[in-house]
Amino acid sequence: MVIDLQKVIFNLKQNDNIVILAHKNPDGDTIGSSFALMYALQSMGKKARVLCNDDYPKDLIFAVGDYSEESFEAEYVVSADISDIQLLGNDVLNKYEDKIDMAIDHHRTHKSFAKEEYVQPTAAATAEIIYEIIKLLGVKITEKIANCIYLGISTDTGCFKYSNVTKHTFYVAGELVEAGANTAKINKRIFDTKSRKQVEVESIIVNSIKYYFDDMCAIVQIPADFLETHGATEDDMCNVTNIPRQIEGVEISVIIKEKEDGICKVSVRCDETINAALICQTFGGGGHYAAAGCVIGGDLDTAEKILIDVIEKRLKEINIV
């Protein structure tokens, strides 16, 4: 059932021993939202704890500060920033699948799963909603709570870079600064810090970029053994899709990842020139105008050649090459 903000407040005031669920592969928004709400409920004298299927990344959890895990029997279960029940992760799913009392989320793609649901897709982050909730609960936004909410908002907006940032997002950010959020420290660690391996791996990828069609199209191949060869982890690859995209003049950027089983996973990002989804549909894939994906059988060079042919055909159709 869809509920309004007043009902969210009523539910939280009414209940105690509250478990807050964060989604698997936790990001800054699910962590920041969950811990901000936990701190707020605890300051009201309630028992509350956050539960997540997976470990919290060190580079995110530092922002929530020191906390202690309270042990109690869950009487009320809230999910924060979870758009689909599958995102609970297997362990949490098994225990809580049909026990979620209230979902708080901002995803446009939210699929209903809780008894009551508050979804606000104009919010840049679930943490932006949590800010409103905490204010309405009458709880002071402490420095710790401000840090949590800031973590959620800054990570979901690329530090205010994306187009999801609204006047209200900036308004909340201003309130968080006033409440003492340590924005510079959080920003430095999240947006201006890379591991040595990540920097090295990105340099290798930069040097492997192949350019086509007057450098309008940039292609990166990632062999199946890339991580092993370079002693890198998936974490070190978190920024790879941005590498060809950020290059001036590149309007079509393609990452081809070779899988162990003789297929290649392809991700295509486009500016305004062509429709990425159209390119990927040729291979049974799909997506949006700006971002799409598909799978192509064969090795890296084969996949690249086939893709280039399709892109060239499309560019010819619209008289660009």
Q: Which of 247, 263, 306, 320 binds a copy of itself (CB under 8 A)?
A: 247
Residue whose CB is less far from a copy of itself, 35 or 150: 150
Q: Tell whether residue 199 is a contact of a copy of itself (CB under 8 A).
A: yes
Starting at the edge strand that comes first in sequence, how are the strands of the sheet with 291-297 ordered?
Answer: 210-212, 217-222, 252-258, 263-270, 291-297, 286-287
Pick out residues in 136-195 that bind a copy of itself (CB under 8 A).
Answer: 159-163, 165-171, 173-175, 177-178, 183-184, 187-188, 191-195
Residue whose CB is less far from a copy of itself, 174 or 286: 174
- Residue 204 Cβ, how far from a copy of itself at the closest point, in Å? 8
3-state secondary structure of 131: helix
E-only strand ranges, 29-154: 48-51, 76-80, 102-105, 116-119
What would the two tokens of residue 232 be?
Answer: 């890198």
Nearest Cα residue to 149 out of 122, 178, 114? 178
Total residues in contact with a copy of itself, by rule CB under 8 A: 42
3-state secondary structure of 246: coil
Distance, in Å, from the CA atom of 159 to the CA atom of 180, rounded to the nearest integer, reads 17
Contact status, residue 207 vs residue 243, Cβ threshold 8 Å = no
- Choices 23-31, 96-104, 223-231, 241-249; region in contact with a copy of itself by CB under 8 A: 241-249
- Choices 87-95, 200-208, 258-266, 308-316; region in contact with a copy of itself by CB under 8 A: 200-208
Q: Tell whether residue 135 is a contact of a copy of itself (CB under 8 A).
A: no
Residue whose CB is less far from a copy of itself, 11 or 157: 157
Residue whose CB is less far from a copy of itself, 47 or 245: 245
Q: Tell whether residue 289 is a contact of a copy of itself (CB under 8 A).
A: no
Residue whose CB is less far from a copy of itself, 96 or 170: 170
Radius of gyration of the chain measured on its C-alpha atoms:
22
- Residue 137 Cβ, how far from a copy of itself at the closest point, in Å? 22
Distance, in Å, from the CA atom of 170 to the CA atom of 149, rounded to the nearest integer, reads 13
